[in-house]
A and B are shown apart, each in its own frame.
Chain A
């Protein structure tokens, strides 16, 4: 296998195609590799992976590694860590990039400790400094501050927050090598085994894909008002969300939580009701184009991020708002 200095992206597939986060990683990875004049490589893990190579080439990848093994069909922490460790041992990447996704969050720290290095967590910006080290910018204290940190270890691992990088397809093609390999894996490497997965499905538009999201917080005071928010969301063809305070109170399932430890949403319009705008909440919705808020406290932090707001009790404001929307949607 090629042993020149390179940046390795850990690729992911969702619903049978390259995930959007992987495209973001390849975009930032290509930029980093260009400034180093080194290769950009990517690895996919699973089975029957050759169908994805043409997509990967759009992003200027130099070598595409396809780690294929029947044990990699479903994501499993220990096996994925092992397969990537084997690849890293033979290809010596300068840097390894992962997305802050369900699997990336598990893989990143495990890989860092396995490889005897460190991890730059939750980066929203990456660059290379004059010593060819990776420099990451990341929110800390739930988003109250931003830290710029240099990685001086080898390899230099970083997790990148999804939806913080604009995807760009490369005019110039990379080398386009394709390298299929079969990692040495066995069932006995599994330390923690999934017995079953239980879906608690959410009806309607998926929060992450919705163009309009209506979220409620502790200010709603109980579970019932969420029915009004759900009605409003469906009138607007959107989805319902919530703050962690509302989820923790048991008013709505935690799958509705927006924020640092909930879902990341990027709607065109985000309507919040009775949410104060804590930085940990904003971490999940800062990609919303327009935020509109109803809150009785004129000093609430949420107004600092909102384009439009009403200062008032939602019990009065919301009915007027919903009625007007009903009459407008009936008229048009």
Chain B
């Protein structure tokens, strides 16, 4: 039996944009993506893709379906999983409702998309998205699909019936096991995701992402109501005076810094 792995990914604003490019809408209720800096696939989600590809290398036959819910997709950015080696990519344009601050909504939409995809053995996600850092959608998906979830993994292995995950702990790791199907979230400790090879890029040009809209999800009246409302979004103010310690050369500056810290009784 071929293994079917679904990887859920999210398009986010590049978390490395300079603070000066970070802007908030005039209504003070949303963050505006800068038009001159392309979005990225959430970093941990790339680790989830990498984990899926590593599993694919160890089993006889596996299919990897990558799915994303969101809006204003950048196809150039979102096609990356295909060039990394994923088999199929489904982008579900859910318009604005996918941006609700309540993770219940996104979890519900993603679950609906996964139900439409059909059967699966394993769902892999990033541990959290770098925009809202909620770390909730994967838990919601597991709960709605009534399957186990193991979070913050750095290594994932599957057998015929089980998944084994090394979960990152503050000073080490724990080995956790559950039945399949299951949801597993991945962390950066898994290691760098692979770069697409030229062959991968060539192969990906032949594959087109499958585009779905909200209508394709047969959303019914159980769409959860949002329990969270945004009052304001603001940028934190920083008012700090940094005293720059000088010296004739670097060595001297370092020495002067130590003297200054002693004078301030910090060391």
- Least distance between A312 CB and chain B CB atoms (Å): 4
Q: B113-121, B126-134, B197-205, B208-216: which one contacts chain A?
A: B126-134
Whether the pair A310, B261 counts as a contact (CB closer than 8 A) is no
Whether the pair B261, A197 counts as a contact (CB closer than 8 A) is no
**Chain A 147-172 against B: per-residue CB contact (8 Å), 1 yes, 0 no?**
11111110000000000000000000
- B5 on the interface (CB 8 Å rule)? no
Known: A146-B233, A212-B267, A248-B188. A140 touches B254 (CB 8 A): no
The docked-state distance in angstroms from the alpha carbon of A151 to that of B107 is: 18
**Chain B 228-259 against A: per-residue CB contact (8 Å), 1 yes, 0 no?**
11111111101011111101011111110111
Which single member of A120, A135, A140, A194 contacts B133 (CB below 8 Å)?
A: A140
- A84 on the interface (CB 8 Å rule)? no
The docked-state distance in angstroms from the alpha carbon of A311 to that of B258 is: 14
Contacts of B229 in A (CB 8 A): 149-150, 152
Say what secondary structure dominates the interface of chain B. Answer: mixed
**Chain A 287-328 against B: per-residue CB contact (8 Å), 1 yes, 0 no?**
000101110001001011111111111011111111111001
- B102 on the interface (CB 8 Å rule)? yes
Contacts of B241 in A (CB 8 A): 307
Which single member of A119, A290, A294 contacts B136 (CB below 8 Å)?
A: A119
- B87 on the interface (CB 8 Å rule)? no
Q: A36-44, A45-53, A106-114: which one contacts chain B?
A: A106-114
The docked-state distance in angstroms from the alpha carbon of A304 to that of B244 is: 11
Known: A147-B101, A149-B101, A153-B227. A141 touches B31 (CB 8 A): yes
- B195 on the interface (CB 8 Å rule)? no
Which residue of chain A has its CB nearest to the CB of B136?
Answer: A109
- A202 on the interface (CB 8 Å rule)? yes
A228-273 residues at the B interface, CB under 8 angstroms = 236, 244, 247-248, 254-255, 260-261, 263, 268-269
- A5 on the interface (CB 8 Å rule)? no
Whether the pair A292, B227 counts as a contact (CB closer than 8 A) is no
- B39 on the interface (CB 8 Å rule)? no
Which single member of A119, A200, A307, A309 contacts B171 (CB below 8 Å)?
A: A200
The docked-state distance in angstroms from the alpha carbon of A294 to that of B261 is: 13
Whether the pair A310, B257 counts as a contact (CB closer than 8 A) is yes
Whether the pair B188, A113 counts as a contact (CB closer than 8 A) is no
- B78 on the interface (CB 8 Å rule)? no
A109-149 residues at the B interface, CB under 8 angstroms = 109-110, 112-114, 117-122, 135, 139-149
Which single member of B104, B171, B234, B244 contacts A202 (CB below 8 Å)?
A: B171
Whether the pair A303, B242 counts as a contact (CB closer than 8 A) is yes
- Least distance between A14 CB and chain B CB atoms (Å): 12
Contacts of A193 in B (CB 8 A): 176-178
Residue in A140, A152, A260, A328 with the greatest tally of chain B CB atoms within 10 Å: A140
Whether the pair B13, A141 counts as a contact (CB closer than 8 A) is yes
Whether the pair A109, B168 counts as a contact (CB closer than 8 A) is no
Which single member of A197, A198, A320 contacts B253 (CB below 8 Å)?
A: A320
The docked-state distance in angstroms from the alpha carbon of A5 to that of B69 is: 38
Whether the pair A201, B139 counts as a contact (CB closer than 8 A) is no
Whether the pair A255, B174 counts as a contact (CB closer than 8 A) is no
Residue in A110, A142, A147, A322 with the greatest tally of chain B CB atoms within 10 Å: A147
Contacts of B258 in A (CB 8 A): 320-321, 324-325, 328
Contacts of A318 in B (CB 8 A): 254
- B170 on the interface (CB 8 Å rule)? yes
Contacts of B16 in A (CB 8 A): 278
The docked-state distance in angstroms from the alpha carbon of A316 to that of B249 is: 8
Complex A-B, nearest 4 residue pairs according to Cβ-Cβ distance, in ascending order = A316-B250, A320-B254, A153-B227, A321-B254
A selection of 7 A-B contacts at a CB cut-off of 8 Å is A113-B139, A140-B31, A140-B133, A144-B235, A200-B171, A316-B254, A325-B267
User: Which residues of B are at the interface with A, using a C-beta cutoff of 8 A?
Assistant: 13, 15-16, 19, 22, 24, 31, 101-104, 107, 127-128, 130-136, 139-140, 143-144, 148-151, 164, 168-179, 182, 187-189, 192, 226-236, 238, 240-245, 247, 249-255, 257-262, 264, 266-267
